[in-house]
Amino acid sequence: MDRLWYSLYSIMVVGTQYRVTDAPRKSGQVFQRLPRHMQRRAMSHNSKRLPRRLRDAYNQQLEKCGASQKKKRPSRKFRRRPRNLLEVYNRRQRAHVWLETHIWHAKRFHMVERWGYKLPLRPTDKSFRACYRAVAHHCLLQDVSYYCCIELSGPVDTLLSALKHHTSTDCGPTFAAQSCLKGTREGSVMFFQRDAYPYRFVGPVSFTWCPQETDHKTLWLWAHPAFYKEILQELTTTFDLQPDESSDALMETSTIAFSSSVEQLKLAPRNVPFLLVPRLRSGDGKVHVALLKDTLSRLRLTGPLSQAVLTQALAVTGDRTAAWCTLKCCASPAEMPPHVVVGVTLCDPRLHLPPKRTKAVPQCGDQQLMEELPPDWATGDIWSAHARNEAIAHKLSSAAVAELCGQRLVPQGPVLGTEEVDQHTFPAQLLHRPGNMRTGKRLELLAPDSSAGHDEARRLESELSEQHFRKPPSKRPNFVKLGMSSPFVCRWDILVREWCGQDCNWFVWRARKVDNSAPGECLVPVTINSVGRGFPTCCALICVPHKDDTEDGVLEPVHVDEGQAARREMRKEHKARLRRERKLRKRGVDSERPSNPDYPTADRNAWLPEAMAIKDSSSRTVIGYVTAGDYCFSEAQGVGQGYIVLQGLRFLQSKNVSDMVTYRNPTSRQYRLGKLSYPRAFAT
């Protein structure tokens, strides 16, 4: 009986408490006055969750507190309409330009923001072997449309006399090379600031001359976006360029009819058609410059089957049909002359896509090596601004192509007739890129002695530093104990000063010939091939080996961390300060939290002090750095590329005749052996 009365009493008490809490409140927000069973979590930010009789009162409360009612987000059906998607895409491209293949890459790659573009960095599947297999056995396609094009037109003598101030014959052929001046081959030069060779390097530039048989020619310069503005500034100073006012008047009076409004919206964030591109001209009016940045698409095909993929995926019209058949008979791109230029007019590939996905293979392999192509093959409509404008304006939309494909009588037959297909064409230019490119050219894209290379090194230092200090102290390497005074950036200034004994203006040696008068403060591009296990990484130290160093390598002795005690004491004081501030806030004594902005900087400086010495910071003498390195699939070993101080290279040659070096990665104490390769001109 006692248990029964106790259970009934508990039910009455619980029921009474439930009825009391369920009663509506007479104060607070409007949604808090409702019974508990009618309250919803979304009522605080959406008045339409309230009953109609309480919505006006709740909106008045929002107006009193200064909060505005949030607008309803458009439905997903409305947001996914093609026209609305285009508007959103154009708005998102204001800060960073998208490539035409951005949507495809964004679904499969990690995207990064670099040099004003949104670019794919690495695939999401974490597999590089697929790319290697494509390059080694098949074909790999890359979108390099972020490269910027500058068009120069004027008298040949005027162009060459001005551009020679930015190049040197010591580095190889210049803009005046006869093999490139005819327009049949693509050339590349090392571009410097005006009359500054060998100092103040800007970057490598590729160029193509228009195949014209007149004294007035057109030149296209292709530059990396990292130093595009610097090159444009140098050209502006050299040619005394000024805005062309006549182009503005022509732009106002010209009209171009697009095939659809959707296609016009796609081109909104770009400088197309040609009449909309910024144009400049020299002070004397002889040289005209058009900035074709973001107006031309540039695709790069790499691999032994790139020739077959290109010739079987595209169809040529006009007088290049016979030349296209000749290219189809090439079994490999190596059969083509290096750096050759071919101008063609291509049909829209969407109109003759194969019904089934197939693999492209060479059609015939008995073609002999072509030493030279006919000169007229280099000519093409791509040099004509009018032809480019017409191709852009009359491009068929995806909906129109789908409709035409649905109207064909035979499923595997042609979409249109021959005459109709010829109306939907676009000009293109094929540039041969040989596979056996020199290591120095790949290495000098963002060289350490250029402004672009310096900016890229600082960006990488900031990124690696933030990534390092985001980890807890127990999960990050102690670079002081490892003997790495500069683990995130290559301090060339300190290393050159220690080897040459003074503050000197160092640079990268790019001349093909070297004599004994070469300054010791210059940097020599080198390649390191690992001997045995391991591979070098970025900012790895290149050192002079000892006689007792074996293939397995030796360990760097653990250095003494003199600031460890001070760092612990500083961290202990910081935690005590945070506890005191927390207690004060609980008591209500101090409403604002006193900040200590100097602690993060002081803590980082205690963990990684400023680099003062590089050469003798380790047990092995440092002579250079690795700027890029990883495991190389084609050579089945670790390969790294970097630079060595010439004075250090001479010291290595006096101690070691086999050109063996040791390298050590920033996060390791392990020294590993590597075979050093450098230009033959520096061999003793």
Question: SS3 letters for 25-75?
Answer: CCCCCHHHHCCHHHCCHHHHCCHHHCCHHHHHHHHHHHHHHCCCCCCCCCC
Are 527 and 641 spatial neighbours (Cβ–Cβ below 8 Å)? yes
Are 166 and 193 spatial neighbours (Cβ–Cβ below 8 Å)? yes
- What gap in Å lies between CA 112 and CA 110, rounded to an integer? 7
- HEC secondary structure over 466-533: HHHHCCCHHHCCCHHHHCCCCCCCCCHHHHHHHHHCCCCCCCECCCCCCCCCCCCCCEEEEEEEECCC
Beta pairing partners, 530: 674
> So what CATH class is 148-291?
alpha beta
pLDDT digits (tens, 9 = 90+) for 482-517: 999 999 999 999 999 999 887 788 999 998 887 677
Domain chopping of the chain, boundaries: 95-127, 148-291, 301-431, 439-559+610-682, 564-607
What is the pLDDT, as a whole number, of residue 443?
52
Q: What are phi and psi of 671, to 5 degrees?
A: -90, 135
Q: What are phi and psi of 189, to 5 degrees?
A: -135, 160
- What gap in Å lies between CA 299 and CA 297, rounded to an integer? 7
In three-state secondary structure terms, 138 is coil
* Residue 265 CB contacts under 8 Å (≥ 6 apart), including other chains: 83, 86, 87, 90
What is the pLDDT, as a whole number, of residue 594?
56
Are 412 and 298 spatial neighbours (Cβ–Cβ below 8 Å)? no
Q: Which of 357, 322, 373, 330 is nearest to 186 (CA)?
A: 373
- Fold agreement (148-291, 439-559+610-682): no
CA dihedral (502, 503, 508, 511) positive or negative: negative
Q: Which amino acid is at 481?
A: K
Q: What separation in angstroms does the CA of 327 have from each of 344, 429, 474, 483, 603?
A: 12, 14, 61, 57, 63
- Looking from the CA of 380 toward its CB, the CA atoms found within 13 Å total 25
Joined together, the tokens standing for residue 73 give: 């987000």
- What gap in Å lies between CA 314 and CA 59, rounded to an integer? 63
Q: DSSP readout, 293-343?
A: TTTS--EEEESTTHHHHHHHH--B-GGGHHHHHHHHT-SSGGGSPTTBEEE
Helix (H) or strand (E) holding 454: helix 451-469
- Looking from the CA of 635 toward its CB, the CA atoms found within 13 Å total 14
- What gap in Å lies between CA 210 and CA 218, rounded to an integer? 5
Helix axes 228-239, 156-163, angle to 10 degrees: 120
DSSP 622: E
What is the pLDDT, as a whole number, of residue 271?
64
Low pLDDT (below 50) residues in the chain: 1, 3-23, 249, 252-253, 437-442
Beta pairing partners, 428: 344
Are 60 and 66 spatial neighbours (Cβ–Cβ below 8 Å)? no
Domain 439-559+610-682 fold = Elongation Factor Tu (Ef-tu); domain 3 (2.40.30)
What is the pLDDT, as a whole number, of residue 192?
95
- What gap in Å lies between CA 134 and CA 127, rounded to an integer? 12
Q: What separation in angstroms does the CA of 458 have from each of 114, 225, 464, 519?
A: 14, 17, 10, 27
Joined together, the tokens standing for residue 669 give: 């104490």
Query: What's CA 414's distance to the chain center, in Å?
Result: 39
Are 325 and 316 spatial neighbours (Cβ–Cβ below 8 Å)? no
Q: What are phi and psi of 181, to 5 degrees?
A: -65, -25
Rg of the chain over CA atoms, in angstroms?
Answer: 33
Q: What separation in angstroms does the CA of 86 have from each of 83, 266, 619?
A: 5, 7, 60
